[in-house]
Amino acid sequence: MLSITNLCKTYPNGVRALDGVTLDIGTGIFGLLGPNGAGKSSLMRTIAALQEPDQGTILWEGADIVRYPHLVREILGYLPQDFGVYPRISAEALLDHLAVLKGVRDKKARRRQIDALLERTNLTQHRRHAVAQFSGGMRQRFGIAQALLGEPRLMIVDEPTAGLDPEERNRFHNLLGEIAADITILLSTHIVEDVQNLCGKAAVLAGGRILTEGRPDHLVAQLKGRVWRRTVESGSLATWRERVTVLSDRLEAGRRTIRVLADSSPGAGFEGCDAALEDAYFAALQTQGTEVGACS
C-alpha cells in the first residue's frame, strides 16, 4: 500500500512539477494518465527515491520512504521513461549484473529468472547481443525485463508500451496482468485504452495536480448521459468551442466530429452517445481549465 500525501516538487528552474499530489495506491495496476509535462514522470521518480520532494510524504506500508529510501529500493521494480544501457554489454550479462544489484544472489536462481524473463519478453534469441544495438522496442522490452528482476512488490513503469508493436504490447499487458494480483503497479501512459483494459484504478494528472481519481468504470459512469456528439464544419470549430464544452474533436472519414460535455443536449444536431474513459479524461482536463489540443 503506497500512500502519497500532499506531494510537492518544484525544480530548480522554477517549474512546479508536482503540486499537492495525494494518492492511495493499493495492489493491482494503478494507471496514471496525463498530458505531456503533467508531472507523471516526476511523481514516479520521486517515489523511486531518485529525487526528493519539497513537501509531502510517501509511505510504503506505513514506512516513510522519503526518509528511508532503501525501504522502497528493496521492493522496487522501475522502468524509467527514457533510459540507456552500457555499450558492448549483452542483454544477459547486463540483466545478471542488475539482478545482483537487486539482491538476487543465488547464481542458479538468477539464471533461471533471467531465462524466464528473456523468454517472456521475447528476447531469448538476442540474449547475447549488446543491448545498445537493440531496436527501440527491443530495448523497451529489455527495460521491462530488468524491472521484473528479483521480487518487486512495487513496480513503477513509466510509459512501458511506448515503442512496442501491437503484438508485444499485448504480450506485456498479459504479463502485467499476471503479476498484478499480489503487487502494486504504477503505470503511466497516454493511451487511455490501456488504462481501461488494465487498470483497476486510475488517476488523471495535469499541471502537477490530481484532477480525478477512481476505478475506470466509475469514472466513465460519472459521465453517463452527459456526452454528446455531432459533425461540424472544419472552419466552425472555434465557434463551437466558445459555445459549448468541447471534449475532443476528430476527423472521421473526412468529416469533423466533436464530442461535447453537457448535462442536457446542447442543441440541434447533437446526439447522445456512450461515454468512454477518454471522455472522462478530457472532462477532467477541462475542469482544470487546461488547454487541450486535438487528440489523435
Ligand X SMILES: Nc1ncnc2c1ncn2[C@@H]1O[C@H](COP(=O)(O)OP(=O)(O)OP(=O)(O)O)[C@@H](O)[C@H]1O
Q: Which secondary-structure segment (H or E) carries 7?
A: strand 2-10
Rounded-to-integer distance, Cα 188 and Cα 65, Å: 21
- Whichever of 192 and 275 has its CB closer to ligand X, that residue is 192
Contact criterion met (CB below 8 Å) for 188 and 32: yes
Q: Which listed residue (1, 6, 11, 86) binds ligand X by CB under 6 A? A: 11
* Beta-sheet pairing, 245-252 with 201-206: unpaired
Smallest distance, Å, CB 22 to ligand X?
A: 17
Residue selected from 21, 23, 29, 148 as contacting another protein according to rule CB under 8 A: 148
Cβ 258 vs Cβ 249: under 8 Å: yes
Which cell is 256 given? 469533423
Q: Which three cell numbers stand for residue 214?
A: 477512481
Q: Is residue 15 involved in binding ligand X (CB under 6 A)? A: yes
Q: What is the dihedral of CA 170, 188, 50, 69, to 10 degrees?
A: -90
Secondary structure element (H or E) that encloses residue 106, with its range: none
Minimum Å gap between C-beta 147 and another protein is: 8
Nearer to another protein, 23 or 44 (CB): 44
Which one of another protein, Mg ion, ligand X, none interacts with residue 271, CB within 5 to 8 A by kind?
Answer: none
Strands 2-10 and 55-60: antiparallel
By a kind-dependent CB cut-off of 5 to 8 A, residue 67 interacts, out of ligand X, Mg ion, another protein, none, with another protein
Residues 52-81 that bind another protein (CB under 8 A): 52, 67-70, 73-74, 76, 78, 80
Pattern 103-122, another protein, x by CB under 8 A: xxxx--xx-xx--xx-xx-x
Q: Which three cell numbers stand for residue 72?
A: 522502497
Of 41 and 121, which CB lies nearer to Mg ion in the complex structure? 41
Residues 79/158, Cβ–Cβ less than 8 Å: yes
HSE-up of 195 (CA within 13 Å, CB side)? 31
Neighbouring-strand partners of residue 209:
206
Reference 90, options 138, 160, 156, 137; nearest CA is 138
Task: Return the one option of ligand X, another protein, Mg ion, none that residue 247 interacts with (CB less than 5 to 8 A, by type).
Answer: none
Among the listed residues 18, 48, 186, 198, the single contact to another protein using CB under 8 A: 48
Which residues would be at the binding site for Mg ion (CB under 5 A)? Answer: 40-41, 81
Q: Is residue 262 part of the contact set for another protein (CB under 8 A)?
A: no
Number of residues lying near another protein (CB under 8 A): 67
Which of the stretches 17-25, 27-35, 150-158, 218-226 binds another protein when contact is defined by CB under 8 A?
150-158
Q: Please report, as residue ranges, which positions from 39 to 78 form the binding site for ligand X (by CB under 6 A).
A: 39-42
Q: Interface residues with ligand X (CB under 6 A)?
A: 11, 13, 15, 17, 34, 36-42, 81
